[in-house]
Amino acid sequence: MSIDIKTKRLHLRTPTMADAAEIHAEKVKVWHDLQSWMSWATDDSKGIDALKEQFIETAAAQNHVTGFCRETGRFVLCTGATDKGNGVFEVGYWVAKDMRGKGLATEAAQAMIDYAFDSLKAKQVYICHYEGNEGSRRIIEKLGFKKTGVVCSAHKRFTDGVMMDKHEYAMTREEWKR
């Protein structure tokens, strides 16, 4: 199912192959950060072919979207609401380097939370960040999630092999704020 959501500043939509070069160019600029904080950012997922196969070809089935600036049409971020089963959906995001700090991840994540509860009939939305990713922690708190726990040494950071704790949060349908 194709997703098409407009927020105040963003057009969130299912990516197409025509988007691949623009997304990849931005992904390369933030690759070190992605490898620091994203469990999917393995060495074999860096290339454009991996982007096409692992993200674009599966995006519709996994409720993944790309965000474009409504004013300029420029690629800004990737986000989504991945089905984890039993009515639980996981929201995540990454933002183009020069578009960070503008509240766009918060805006996009809120849209995906709303989409998960409204359209996907989620019972719960899950989100997490790894130890030290203060930007994501702040976004998660702004969105109103409640911390549910910490999984110690849950992920080995790709950049240096350091084991990181995973901080987990959830929001139920009842807690969902509009």
- The answer to whether 41 touches 35, Cβ cutoff 8 Å, is yes
The residue with greater pLDDT, 143 or 35, is 143
Distances (CA, A) of 73 to 19, 69, 96: 11, 5, 14
| Summary mean pLDDT of the chain | 90
The one-letter code for the residue type at 50 is A
Spatial neighbors of 73 by CB under 8 A, at least 6 apart, are: none
DSSP β-bridge partners for residue 128? 168
Q: What homologous superfamily does CATH list for 4-172?
A: Gcn5-related N-acetyltransferase (GNAT) (3.40.630.30)
As a whole number of angstroms, the distance between CA 77 and CA 10 comes to 9
Q: What is the pLDDT of residue 161?
A: 87
- The answer to whether 19 touches 56, Cβ cutoff 8 Å, is yes
Spatial neighbors of 168 by CB under 8 A, at least 6 apart, are: 126, 127, 128, 147, 148, 149, 150, 151
Q: What is the mean pLDDT of residues 29-36?
A: 79
Q: pLDDT tens, 94-119? A: 999 999 999 999 999 999 999 999 99
The residue with greater pLDDT, 139 or 178, is 139
DSSP β-bridge partners for residue 65? 79
In this prediction, residue 57 has a pLDDT band, given cuts at 50, 70 and 90, of: confident
The answer to whether the pTM exceeds 0.85 is yes
Across 154-178, b (16+ Cβ under 10 Å) vs e yields bbebbeeeeebebbbbbbeeeebee
Most confident of 39-43, 58-62, 67-71, 159-163: 67-71
Q: What is the CA radius of gyration of the chain?
A: 15
List, in sequence order, every beta strand (DSSP E) within the chain. 4-6, 10-13, 64-69, 75-85, 88-95, 124-130, 146-156, 163-172
Residue 93 has pLDDT above 60, yes or no: yes
Return the domain boundaries, the chain.
Answer: 4-172
